[in-house]
Structure 1
Amino acid sequence: MSLIGNIIWIIFGGIFIFLEYIICGFLMCLTIVGIPFGLKIIQLSVLGLAPFGQKVEYNEHAGGCLSILLNVIWIVIGGIWIAITHLLFALVFAITIIGIPFAVQHVKLAGFALTPFGKSIR
């Protein structure tokens, strides 16, 4: 079931989400300061390409205060806008019964996009 969901996801916009995140991640990795943010955006791009069948989990060894600090910086830099965009897409998809699974995936992406540090994709 997750294979079919991922194929439909890619056809109806998942490839654009993936390309947007991967390009942004590589651009962030051009600077030394942006490397941690770029690597998390690249992880987000993988989740944006095929979200069905993947889970976002908290790491037990997340780094404590460093993860919190990086999440706060990330929210200010752009995480809030990415999360709002995914939540708006979730509202649009939730209008129809067929779109509800896609809305759930957008909510999952919004949660990971808002605070990506201290989380991993499994």
Structure 2
Amino acid sequence: MRTLLNVIWLVFSGFWLFLGYLLAAVIMFVLIITIPWGIAAARIGVYALWPFGKTVVATPGAGVGSFLGNVVWVVLAGFWIAIGHFFSGIALCVTIIGIPFGIANFKLIPVALMPLGKQIVDIP
């Protein structure tokens, strides 16, 4: 079932969101000092590409550095990517079949805003 949901997600939303994260990652890699944010964007982009069967958990011990890094991320890219998730979620919720995918988009908004200090793990 997860595979079917992931394939449908990939066609209707996942690929475009992945491209948004990939663009953010490339911009962060070019600026050199923002490479940690580029790594986070690439990691979350892969999660946005194939989200069913995975979840986001907080990293224990993530401290002030992660918080400050997240503030910089929100200013540089997180806000715009979260807006992309919001509008994609609304568009998917227009149909009954798309509601689970819209909810998945809404669940990606917090990690799009604050990616540092989070881990993406498989659901058993």
User: TM (normalized to structure 2)?
Assistant: 0.88
Question: Where in structure 1 are there 5+ consecutive unaligned residues?
Answer: none
RMSD: 1.4
| Residues 9-59 of structure 1, C-alpha deviations (whole Å, 9 max, x = no match) | 112232232233224313321332110110011011111110111101111
1:102 aligns with 2:101: yes
| Amino acid of the structure 2 residue aligned with 1:70 | G
Percentage identity across aligned positions? 40
Query: Do 2:78 and 2:113's aligned partners in 1 also have CA atoms closer than 8 Å?
Result: yes
Instruction: Map 1:1-122 to 2 at 5 A.
Output: 1-62=1-62, 64-122=63-121
| Cα separation, 1, equivalents of 2:74 and 2:24 | 16
Q: Partners of 2:19 and 2:84 in 1: how far apart?
A: 16
Mapped partners of 1:59, 1:91: distance in 2: 29
SS in 2 for 1:60: coil
Larger deviation, residues 48-57 vs 19-28: 19-28
Contact 1:47 1:109 survives alignment (8 Å): no
Amino acid of the structure 2 residue aligned with 1:112:
V
Moved more, 7-16 or 108-117: 7-16
Q: Using the alignment, how far apart are the partners of 1:17 and 1:52 within structure 2?
A: 15
Counterpart residue identity of residue 72, structure 2:
I
C-alpha displacement of 1:107: 1.1
8 Å CA contact 1:67–1:118 kept in 2: the answer is yes
CA distance in 2, matches of 1:21, 1:83: 11
Question: How many equivalent pairs are there?
Answer: 121
Contact 2:24/2:77 (CA < 8 Å) preserved in 1? no
